[in-house]
Amino acid sequence: MTLAYAVCSVSVMPLRASASHRAEQVSQVLFGERMEVLATEKNNWLHVRCEWDEYEGWVKGGQVALITYKEYRKPLLAITASTNDVALVEH
């Protein structure tokens, strides 16, 4: 069950296997990537599922900003390098 929605607010954020700085880093989340908050743990740890690749893991709550469902579902825009055209990114 999704408790909330969030976006990464730092340049690079570690995605951990458990709610600890000593836990294995299973992936990284980049600035602006969106995620679902699935659970919370003591010391401000959040269990999240990344929107882009559906990886799940734990992040510190201070490294994300909460967003609304409408902001979470908003299509991403991308600029193509060859033509500078703006296009919707579907995933």
Give 21-53 pLDDT, tens digit per residue.
999 999 999 999 999 999 999 999 999 999 999
- Residue 88's pLDDT is 58
pTM, 2 dp: 0.81
Q: Do 24 and 17 form a contact (C-beta atoms < 8 A)?
A: yes
pLDDT confidence tier of residue 64, bands split at 50, 70 and 90: very high
